[in-house]
A and B are shown apart, each in its own frame.
Chain A
Amino acid sequence: MSGAVFVTVFTPLAGALLLVWIRNRNRAGWLNVMVSASTFAAALALALEVARREVVAGGGFRVDAFNVYLLVLTAFVGMTTSIFSRPYMQYVCATGKTSARGMRLYHVMFQLFIFTMLLALATDNLGILWVAVEGATLTTVLLVSLYRTPEAIEAAWKYFILCGVGIALALFGTVVLYFAAQHVIDEPAAGLSWSTLHAVAPQLEPSIMSLAFVFLLVGYGTKVGLVPLHQWLPDAHSEGPTPMSAVLSGLLLNVALYAIVRLKMLVDGALAATDTPYLAGQLLMGFGLASFLVAGLFLHRQRDIKRMFSYSSIEHMGLMTFAFGMGGPLATFAALLHMLVHSLTKSAIFVTVGHAAHIAGTQSIEHIRGLIRTQPIVGWGLLIGVAAIAGFPPFGIFTSEFLLLSATMQSQPWFTVALLVGLAVAFAGLFRHLHPMVYGVVPAGQQPVPANMIPVMVHLGLVLWLGVSIPVFLAHWLDRATGLISGGHLL
């Protein structure tokens, strides 16, 4: 029973309640940064605690090796994004895209969103997990339509409807899960506690569990953006304000995938004795591969820069899903690492893209030209960020993809061909659009803007560090998480 969890989770909520009353948008921006910073500090404290004791549990929360690093990551990305968003939203407000009310809404919702993320990660109760993920939708949907353009409203509507339906299905899955649990656990209140269920997983009725898993997979899978449930994702990313895109891509998708993996652990336990023990894994592999390949092809037809990178997010989520589905220590480790480096890199890219769009005054790719001439730091940031996301060493994504490919080569060699093709296609898709944007001559009237690239540098620096050498403590965390998920260790 520890306070760190509570502080970590509820600081953003408090911040949100505080921000409701702040009218001065400048001060609100600063407060936003401070709240996020303190959340991050609390998360670090929590991490230390978890490092000392394997598991921190109590008050309906349960923090183990798997979710602690996601908690820290979430808090960290939240902080850097808030740092970026302070000046950026000032600029947005200055351009008149949104009003003072909009700004307030933005700040409140930002903190609420972080709160739901942390809650979903930290809770032990699958019901609360559902509530939190649904809450994430509700908090972000208004931000997607913040600019009130027809596109924005359309995107928000699609986001709302699709995720609402998905999440409803997830709730049905949860109910069915609870239904299955009731015949094993006598004390009904504990029937949704993940730890309890995990303990009794082998006794759960397999057929009901697989039924439940399908609903949960479709439900949370919608949030992860698995093809063919992904359609909301590019719209929401491209039309919302850039900081929102950064956290959506960097955090929300992770959390949804996290939920799926947690549930997969339960289902694997329940199905272990049946004749289809790997059902969940196979489903995940199928969805992952489909998303990976399809998203890679989508990249080739993009006209909007943020849309493009949201498709690349789908691609990477597909890769992780595939890895988790494949199971086995190596693949799982790779997937966990990939979660980490992908959200760091992708949020950095979105921040850079925000500046790029600011420079060009538009998000459409064919009007963004010659960035490294206009503003070298932004141009190079984008170039290097994309190189990192495309899996070039010495950045961390290369490490995780290297591990993933070798794991695949060991367990299912023939899938490597698909992975190879997919990576190549996605790579081509990214760079064919990136090239004219960063290189070439500067179009008339394209001016440098006051850009705050420090978050980007920090993120990319971290990714670089992870690529060159993974610090021991992190390696141990990931390894413990690997043990939790796959039952095997690497170290």
Chain B
Amino acid sequence: MSLEHLTLLQQLMVVLAAVVLFTSFVLLEQARLVAAIHAFAWQGVLVALVTVIVAASGRHTHLFFSAALTLGLKALLIPWMLHRLVRRLELDRHSEPLRRPALVIMAALALVIFSYWLVLPIVQQELIFTRNIVAVSLAVVLIGLLMMVIRTQAVAQVLGFMSMENGLFLAAVSATGGMPLMVELGVAFDVLVAAVLFGVFFFQIRASIDSLDVDRMNRLTERVDEQ
């Protein structure tokens, strides 16, 4: 295979990775749940694209399969499920603006820079390219976690969780050309089950505190005298 062809693919991958990162920013900022779900779906699509590219770049043919898996799961099935849930929970009008958006963005950017700084010591020459992708995916993971921290809405937290998964997947695909198939299947299965369970929990929570605001779930605490 010729070099520039490869570089083109690489450029494409970098672009896609950047867009993935962008989507997670969108996710982080998005006030309306439905829109957030859409953003998440797009992120899934992008990850699937990356997978396809890596697969196309040769060695890992089984990645086509996992690309399909990702597309089906992350881009279609889970968003659809969440959408349905949101509608059934009458949350589709729900919007929760961030309290200090500027601060959050700052934090997210700091995380991005931090993850770059983190992977710098990985010095082997042939890794330079992949290490940047790893940095991006690490940033996606951390931003997802950040999102779970700042969002008081259960569904939003789940979105954050799922985008973490996306980041993981991105890393797996771009850095290592995917995990062994066995593992991938297991991971996918777990994600699916997790999604289903989340659905179950939404209703349970809703039934118990008739809201999905996680800040209102603080019965179990040790701070008796402070309360």
Contact = CB atoms under 8 A, between A and B. Distances in A.
Given A172-B168, A179-B134, A141 B180 contact: no
A135 interface: yes
Interface string A174-193: 11101100110000110110
B179 interface: yes
Interface stretch (A142-150, A381-389, A466-474): A142-150
A153 B148 contact: no
B134 A176 contact: yes
A127 B175 CA distance: 16
A157 B205 contact: yes
Report the contact-size class of chain A (Cβ under 8 Å from the partner): 35 or more
A165 B148 contact: yes
A134 interface: yes
B214 to A, nearest CB: 7
B161 to A, nearest CB: 6
Contacts of B179: 127, 174-175, 178, 192
Given A161-B148, A175-B175, 18 more contacts: A60-B182, A127-B179, A127-B182, A130-B187, A138-B197, A148-B208, A151-B219, A154-B218, A157-B201, A160-B198, A172-B171, A175-B168, A175-B179, A178-B172, A179-B176, A183-B127, A207-B123, A239-B220
A145 B161 contact: no
Nearest to A164: B161
B226 to A, nearest CB: 11
Q: Which 5 A-B pairs have the closest CB atoms?
A: A127-B183, A131-B186, A150-B208, A154-B217, A207-B121
Nearest to A169: B141
A183 B201 CA distance: 42
A171 B167 CA distance: 11
B85 interface: no
B122 A208 contact: yes
B180 A191 contact: yes
A235 B122 contact: no
A165 B180 contact: no
B44 interface: no
Contact of A171 (B123, B154, B168): B168
B107 interface: no
Contacts of A238: 220
Interface string A263-296: 0000000000000000000000000000000000
Nearest to A172: B168
B220 A155 contact: yes
26 contacts: A125-B180, A125-B183, A130-B186, A131-B190, A141-B197, A150-B209, A151-B219, A151-B220, A154-B220, A165-B145, A165-B164, A168-B141, A168-B165, A172-B167, A175-B175, A175-B179, A176-B171, A176-B175, A178-B172, A179-B130, A179-B134, A179-B175, A179-B176, A191-B180, A205-B122, A238-B220
A130 B201 CA distance: 23
Interface of A: 60, 125, 127-128, 130-131, 134-135, 138, 141-142, 145, 148-151, 153-158, 160-161, 164-165, 168-169, 171-172, 174-176, 178-179, 182-183, 188-189, 191-192, 205, 207-208, 211, 234-235, 238-239, 298, 301, 303
Contacts of A182: 176-177
A262 B76 CA distance: 37
A153 B218 CA distance: 11
Contacts of B61: none
B193 interface: yes
A69 B204 CA distance: 39
B190 A142 contact: no
Interface string B59-103: 000000000000000000000000000000000000000000000
A192 B214 contact: no
Nearest to B179: A127
A130 B182 CA distance: 12
A142 B177 CA distance: 34
Contacts of B193: 138
A156 to B, nearest CB: 7
B157 interface: yes
Contact of A161 (B123, B161, B167, B190): B161
B176 A178 contact: yes
